[in-house]
């Protein structure tokens, strides 16, 4: 899901950068009000964990393709939407700057996709399912899957809007692959959440968890 | 108590980035795969020369190269977030 340089149009890149800057300004504002210093190392270690997990591409059985965790649904479950945007932005920025994973001109769009839209999709799922009686593991699986597929759909719209390929083809192809990758996201999220809970890696204020 | 848990998670992250990552699939990811099918991935380029491109230490040709890159990445990510969190978090 890390988009390289040279594919999207300058207009889309600029629009992505502007939206990301605006949202991140709001994230910083939120954390100035709500983020306790004691939570910082816990979120930092989860950022490091997500960075590590993103390195492990899992094969998609039977296809010459792979996928890896985004981690947005995991972080949102533990910390809520606004803190997650800071965690994911740290990861995505380091990947682009230090490891050339995701283009530098696309950083705004990659932050928008993986640090804002993926967590946003997951937090909507949590909001909808919070009151239902389904088990936590199933809920985070669904949030993980939805976050990946929704992000793929946005990435497809960005391709369409850049006149790279038709909207229809982009949506079809990206959603197809990511509906498989999303299963991996859901499984990993479902596997990690119980451990994180056992370590009390979450923010205790309830309103921040949705 | 919390300190110990944080050490455990850092150790696990270092292990994943430094060792488990060596088993990662080398196939293109979903976006690249779609890009191959639709023909747009050929336009991909890189405007920035990163110090550790593609999670490898330039000139080093062994598994250690990507293993060390992963370990460095975990350390930088943790360190940068601590800094960012300190600046963006509540003042005590």
Q: Would you list the domain boundaries of chain A? A: 10-57+65-209
Reference A174, options A195, A155, A201, A194; nearest CA is: A155
Fold adopted by A10-57+65-209: Arp2/3 complex 21 kDa subunit ARPC3 (1.10.1760)
Locate tokens 């533990």: which residue? A78
Query: Mind telling me how many Å the CA of B78 is from chain A's nearest CA?
Result: 5
Helix (H) or strand (E) holding B16: helix B2-18
Best A51, A105, A161 residue to mutate vs chain B (most B CBs within 10 Å): A51
- Burial zone of A28 (CB within 10 Å; 0-12 exposed, 13-18 middle, 19+ buried): middle
Tens place of pLDDT per residue across chain A (210 aa): 999 999 999 999 999 999 999 999 999 999 999 999 999 999 999 999 999 999 999 999 889 999 999 999 999 999 999 999 999 999 999 999 999 999 999 999 999 999 999 999 999 999 999 989 999 999 999 999 999 999 999 999 999 999 999 999 999 999 999 999 999 999 999 999 999 999 988 775 544 444
A174 at interface of B, judged by CB pairs closer than 8 A: yes
B62 at interface of A, judged by CB pairs closer than 8 A: no
Helix (H, G, I), strand (E, B) or coil at A67: strand
pLDDT, tens digit, 9 for 90 and up, residues A121-177: 999 999 999 989 999 999 999 999 999 999 999 999 999 999 999 999 999 999 999
Q: How many CB pairs under 8 A join A and B?
A: 229
Q: Under an 8 A CB cutoff, do B81 and A44 touch?
A: yes
Nearest-CB residue to B73 (from A46, A99, A180): A99
B35 at interface of A, judged by CB pairs closer than 8 A: yes
Q: Under an 8 A CB cutoff, do B25 and A59 touch?
A: yes
Query: Mind telling me how many Å the CA of B64 is from chain A's nearest CA?
Result: 15
Burial B44-72 (b: 16+ CB within 10 A, else e): eeeeeebebbebbbeeeeeeebbbbbbbb
Ramachandran category for residue A68: left, alpha or beta (phi over 0 → left; psi -120 to 50 → alpha): beta
pLDDT at A209: 44
CA B56 to chain centroid, in Å, comes to 10
Q: Identify all chain B residues contacting A97, using CB atoms and an 8 Å cutoff.
A: 48, 50
CA separation for the pair B80, A40 (Å, rounded) = 11
Reference B12, options A154, A7, A51, A77; nearest CA is: A51
B42 at interface of A, judged by CB pairs closer than 8 A: no
Phi, psi of A5 (to 5 degrees): -65, 155
pLDDT at A204: 54
Ramachandran category for residue A67: left, alpha or beta (phi over 0 → left; psi -120 to 50 → alpha): beta
DSSP string, A91-112: HHHHHHHHH--S-STTHHHHII
pLDDT, tens digit, 9 for 90 and up, residues B5-50: 999 999 999 999 999 999 999 999 999 999 999 999 999 999 999 9
B53 at interface of A, judged by CB pairs closer than 8 A: yes
Q: How far is CA B77 from CA A25, A87, B4, in A?
A: 20, 9, 19
B60 at interface of A, judged by CB pairs closer than 8 A: no
A164 at interface of B, judged by CB pairs closer than 8 A: yes
CA separation for the pair B18, A207 (Å, rounded) = 36
- Burial zone of B18 (CB within 10 Å; 0-12 exposed, 13-18 middle, 19+ buried): buried
The ipTM, to two decimals, is 0.97
B61 at interface of A, judged by CB pairs closer than 8 A: no
Helix (H, G, I), strand (E, B) or coil at B33: helix
Nearest-CB residue to A41 (from B6, B14, B92): B6
């Amino acid at each position: 899901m890390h988009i390289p340089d040279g594919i999207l149009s300058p207009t889309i890149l600029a629009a992505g950068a502007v939206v990301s800057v605006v949202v991140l300004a709001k994230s910083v504002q939120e954390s100035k009000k709500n983020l306790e210093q004691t939570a910082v190392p816990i979120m930092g270690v989860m950022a490091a964990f997500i960075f590590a997990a993103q390195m492990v591409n899992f094969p998609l059985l039977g296809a010459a393709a792979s996928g890896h965790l985004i981690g947005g649904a995991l972080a949102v479950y533990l910390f809520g939407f606004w803190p997650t945007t800071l965690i994911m932005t740290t990861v995505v920025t380091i990947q682009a700057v230090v490891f050339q994973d995701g283009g530098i001109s696309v950083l705004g769009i990659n932050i928008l996709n993986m640090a804002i839209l993926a967590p946003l999709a997951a937090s909507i799922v949590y909001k909808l399912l919070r009151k239902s009686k389904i088990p936590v593991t199933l809920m985070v699986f669904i949030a993980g899957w939805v976050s990946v597929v929704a992000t793929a759909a946005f990435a497809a719209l960005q391709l369409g809007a850049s006149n790279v390929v038709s909207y229809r083809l982009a949506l079809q192809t990206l959603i197809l692959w990511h509906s498989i990758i999303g299963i991996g996201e859901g499984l990993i999220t479902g596997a990690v959440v119980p451990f994180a809970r056992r370590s009390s890696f979450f923010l205790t204020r309830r309103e921040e968890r949705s | 108590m919390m300190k110990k848990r944080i050490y455990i998670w850092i150790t696990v992250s270092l292990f994943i980035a430094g060792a488990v990552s060596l088993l990662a699939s080398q196939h293109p990811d979903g976006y690249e795969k779609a890009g191959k099918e639709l023909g747009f991935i050929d336009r991909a380029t890189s405007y920035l020369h990163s110090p550790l491109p593609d999670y490898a230490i330039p000139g080093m040709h062994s598994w250690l190269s990507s293993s060390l890159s992963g370990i460095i990445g975990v350390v930088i990510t943790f360190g940068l977030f601590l800094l960012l969190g300190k600046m963006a978090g509540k003042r005590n």
